[in-house]
């Protein structure tokens, strides 16, 4: 089995998020790291590899030169190879161009059985890339799956408004996992050393046959961006015998009850 894991490099989740004047995430404002949900997606694939030694894990990411460090870390954690889509014209890509590019990169990898990704990145929170990639590839998509089981098919549970439901799909397929997936393992010394010798392919849009100027891939443009206002001080309620009434009145005014 060959599993491709979609990896995204994001600004440090513990740092302050900032936007550029163009409304894009300022990726120079804090350290760049592998998104935690991407690491959990990789852990799902690596656990399958632990259980089935015939499993091959390929990590795939698009982004600037700095993404190489994240891919090397993924290799040190246990992935077998990496693919880096690197092209200056991808800067500021929206979900449409991102999905088309990732799908083309997956097509360039022979014999892919399963694609695993996080359900939503911490920098964008769009949560649509796995489904869009599936549409480009014409394969099933299981979104936001808990307790993923991998075999001749993939299955798990999916939260709904009223509870959960069991979902399954035949292979090839793409699955996005949630934060309920296991935490990622740490690279050991052997993994760090062997990662330097593992293959890491760098592909451009021309290598993939993707034209970023194609009308169907016209990217979204942010017209304006406004910083979030500072959080206002809360209202204090001192209990002098009427605190319950005041609380109920507040909740009712805010239409919370």
The predicted model scores a pTM of 0.84
Residues in the chain with pLDDT values less than 50: none
> Which helix (H) or strand (E) covers residue 189, if one does?
helix 189-195
CATH of domain 2-217: 3.40.50.620
- What pLDDT, in 10s, does the model give residues 131-149? 999 999 999 999 999 999 9
Tokens of 257: 């009850």
Indicate the domain borders of the chain.
2-217
The distance from CA 55 to its chain's CA centroid, rounded to whole angstroms, is 22
Q: Residue 142 is encoded by which pair of tokens? A: 């299981």
Q: Which tens digits make up the pLDDT trace of 66-88?
A: 999 999 999 999 999 999 999 99
- Measured in degrees and rounded to the nearest 5, phi and psi for residue 211 equal -105, 105
Burial code (b: 16+ CB inside 10 Å, e: under 16) for 36-53 equals bbbbbbbbbbbbbbeeee
């Amino acid at each position: 089995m060959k599993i491709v894991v979609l990896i995204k490099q994001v600004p440090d989740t513990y740092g302050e998020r900032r936007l550029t004047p163009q409304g894009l995430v300022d990726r120079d404002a804090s350290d760049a790291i592998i998104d935690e949900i991407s690491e959990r997606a990789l852990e799902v694939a690596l656990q399958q590899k632990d259980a089935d030694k015939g499993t091959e894990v390929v990590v795939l990411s698009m982004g600037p030169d700095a993404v190489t460090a994240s891919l090397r870390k993924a290799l040190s954690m246990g992935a077998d190879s990496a693919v880096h889509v690197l092209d200056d014209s991808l800067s500021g890509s929206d979900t449409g161009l991102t999905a088309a590019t990732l799908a083309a990169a997956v097509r360039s990898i022979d014999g892919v059985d399963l694609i695993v990704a996080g359900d939503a990145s911490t920098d964008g929170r769009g949560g649509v890339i796995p489904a869009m990639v599936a549409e480009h590839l014409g394969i099933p998509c299981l979104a936001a799956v808990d307790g993923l089981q991998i075999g001749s098919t993939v299955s798990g549970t999916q939260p709904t408004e009223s509870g959960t439901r069991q979902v399954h799909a035949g292979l090839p397929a793409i699955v996005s996992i949630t934060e309920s997936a296991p935490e990622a393992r740490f690279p050991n010394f052997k993994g760090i050393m062997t990662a330097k010798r593992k293959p890491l392919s760098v592909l451009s849009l021309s290598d993939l046959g993707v034209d970023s100027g194609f009308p169907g891939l016209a990217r979204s443009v942010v017209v304006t961006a406004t910083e979030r206002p500072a959080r206002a001080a809360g209202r204090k309620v001192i209990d002098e015998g009427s605190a319950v009434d005041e609380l109920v009145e507040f909740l009712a005014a805010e239409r919370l009850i």
